[in-house]
Amino acid sequence: MNIELWQKAVEFHGHKCVGLAFGFRMGEEAKKIFGEDEEIYCRMPVKSCITDGITGSTGASVENGRIQVDESLNNFIFYIKDDDEGWAFRQKKMELPEGTDPVAAVLTYDRDMIVTVDPWDM
Average pLDDT, the chain: 95
pTM of the full structure: 0.94
Kindly report the backbone phi and psi dihedral angles of residue 25, in degrees, each rounded to the nearest multiple of 5, phi listed first.
-65, -40
23 residue type, one letter:
G
DSSP state of 83: -
Total domains present in the chain: 1
Reported in sequence order, the residue ranges of 51-99 that DSSP labels E, i.e. its strands, are 67-69, 76-80, 85-91
Q: Distance (Å, rounded) from C-alpha 70 to C-alpha 46?
A: 7
Is pLDDT at 113 greater than 90 in this prediction? yes
Q: pLDDT value at position 90?
A: 96
75 residue type, one letter:
N
Is pLDDT at 82 greater than 90 in this prediction? no
CATH code: domain of residue 54 = 3.30.1330.130
Q: What is the rounded average pLDDT of the residues 66-74?
A: 95
Residue 104, domain extent: 3-121
